[in-house]
Amino acid sequence: MLTKRIIPCLDVKDGKTVKGVNFLNLRDAGDPVELGALYSQQGADELVFLDITATLEKRKTLVELVKRVAQNINIPFTIGGGIGSIEDVSACLNAGADKVSVNSSAIKNPVLIDQLSKEFGNQCIVVAIDTRNVNGKNLVHSHGGTKPTDIDTIVWAKEMQERGAGELLLTSMDHDGTKAGFANELTAHISSTVSIPVIASGGAGNMEHFTDVFTKGKADAALAASIFHFKEISIPELKAYLKSNDICMRT
């Protein structure tokens, strides 16, 4: 059995870590590099940094942030936000990122994932999928969750794998920030449909939610923000809890 991963997510806006509910009402959670270094020390398996308004504001991901993170953190990290070309990915990887996360640009131009995978290898290409239930259908959203599309989430996940994504970051906008648990049914459906790793995101509120997403949701990794940023759960105690529940964790 492959070990499961715990991944703190740092949503970055104007150089600060922020967190909201259902992608709205953002509040300041501190310096992203300091928080990232703390999580690294505490045993996080990976980190994800998302410049959440980069696409919305039509500007590039902060390469300077990547450099700062790389200088202070010794675990793998993914950077996302406004990445839309081979040049963008190259700049982020050269600045020290291990992976890049692509969302809106893939929706606008799906062939981009083919190109990025061919150029850099699929191991560093993460496709982020922001999804929301609209009239009974799970539909993909772009531009930081602000623009709905008519793309079915399951169909999109399969296409992204076929085009060369090495991993999927699945965020349920309906669950995001609610602390009511992950979207286990949808996560399990996608995990059973694709053969690449699926990172579940949105809804973590307690340690039991992580057990559920790894067992019922069949996720390969679980991503969370608020509960770590505001010190509601520590990574060491979460990992100990999961191990006690027979979830295979990295030490």
**What are 189-241's pLDDT values in tens digits?**
999 999 999 999 999 999 999 999 999 999 999 999 889 988 999 999 999 99
pTM attached to this predicted model: 0.92
Is residue 41 scored above 80 in pLDDT? yes
- Active-site residue, selected from the candidate residues 45, 88, 130, 212: 130
- Active-site residue, selected from the candidate residues 11, 51, 88, 176: 11
Mean pLDDT of 61-87: 90
- How does DSSP assign 184-197, residue by residue? HHHHHHHHHH-SS-
Phi-psi region of 143 (alpha: psi -120 to 50; beta: other; left: phi over 0): left
Q: What is the pLDDT of residues 150-203, one digit of tens each?
A: 999 999 999 999 999 999 999 999 998 789 999 999 999 999 999 999 999 999
Rounded to 5°, angle at Cα 46 from 18 and 179: 45
Q: Is 130 among the residues known to form the active site? A: yes
Mean pLDDT of 66-75: 94
5-13 and 16-21: which strand pairing?
antiparallel
- Phi then psi dihedrals of residue 102, to 5 deg: -120, 135
d(CA 20, CA 22): 7
| Amino acid (1-letter code) at residue 221 | A
Percent of the chain with pLDDT over 70: 91
pLDDT-derived band at 145 (thresholds 50, 70, 90) equals confident
- pLDDT, position 60: 55
* Helix locations, the chain, DSSP H: 32-42, 63-72, 86-95, 104-108, 111-120, 153-163, 184-193, 207-215, 226-229, 235-244
Q: Which among 86, 184, 88, 84 is positioned nearest to 142, based on CA atoms?
A: 84
Residue 24: helix, strand or coil by DSSP? strand
- pLDDT, position 29: 62
